[in-house]
Amino acid sequence: MSTSTRPPLRLAILISGRGSNMATIARECRQQRIAATVNVVISDRPGVAGITTAQDMGLETQVVSWKTAVDRAAFELALGQVIDTHSPDLVVLAGFMRVLSGPFVERYAGRMINIHPSLLPKYTGLHTHRRALEARDAEHGASVHFVTPELDGGPLILQSQVPVKADDTESTLAARVQATEHVIYPRVVAWIADGRLKWNEGHPLLDGKPLSKPVVEHFDAS
């Protein structure tokens, strides 16, 4: 249980699909393992499983449809309005599949984090598990990072590292990596909620020390 005495961190969680990371973080907030509240879950797609899950958990949900927006500027205007209505301290991208513009990202500098299914800087973009298998990597994993205008390029915070097994397929590897995401993403949110992880003019500080490289957590192949 968190021992923080500060007011709970307000979260806006942005999703595009299943929402398993969102649900894990929301559950940990509810169990007071993270000193935060999920104030809104926003999807850019209507009807996704993550929205149903969030509603089942009694969370406030909003859909800001990418498809029906006239252009990216209109989408981001609507998205920004919904986010700001909830005054979040932290915007958590959890499987949110839209690339956000530089100016939009800058508005939330130091207040927006993302999880990406690779050991960044390896494999930015899509199909990360397939690419790790094709490259015959011995290790694969996921990365939590602050969001900057460079796609999947912001300062790294925490990575999970898993061994790649000889008989791995894209889906077995994806499942193993995703299980680790559910460990590392809540942990980073807790660090921020507890005031341990801070953003200092473009540079993360963990427990007062510059985080020049990510913390790496190793998981076994089970």
Residues that bind ligand GRF (CB under 6 A): 15, 17-22, 50, 94-95, 115-117, 142, 178, 181
Instruction: Say which of 116, 129, 140, 145 is annotated catalytic.
Output: 116
Closer by beta carbon to ligand GRF, 1 or else 17? 17
Compute the distance between CA of residue 96 and CA of residue 185 in angstroms, rounded to an integer: 14
**112-116 and 139-146 beta bridge pairing:** antiparallel
Question: Using CB atoms, what's the residue nearest to ligand GRF?
Answer: 95
Q: Which helix (H) or strand (E) holds 63?
A: strand 61-63
Compute the distance between CA of residue 203 and CA of residue 38 in angstroms, rounded to an integer: 25
Closer by beta carbon to ligand GRF, 117 or else 214? 117
- Give the residue among 103, 151, 102 at the shortest CA–CA distance from 126: 151
Compute the distance between CA of residue 188 and CA of residue 13 in angstroms, rounded to an integer: 14
| Residue 116 designated active-site | yes
Question: Rounded to the nearest whole angstrom, what is the least distance from the CB of residue 16 to ligand GRF in the complex?
Answer: 7
Question: Rounded to the nearest whole angstrom, what is the least distance from the CB of residue 165 to ligand GRF in the complex?
Answer: 18
Contacts of 134 (CB under 8 A, 6+ apart): none
Question: Rounded to the nearest whole angstrom, what is the least distance from the CB of residue 140 to ligand GRF in the complex?
Answer: 12
Question: Rounded to the nearest whole angstrom, what is the least distance from the CB of residue 182 to ligand GRF in the complex?
Answer: 8
Closer by beta carbon to ligand GRF, 110 or else 182? 182
Closer by beta carbon to ligand GRF, 79 or else 113? 113
Cα-Cα-Cα-Cα torsion 200, 119, 1, 203, nearest 10 degrees, comes to: 0
Catalytic residues: 116
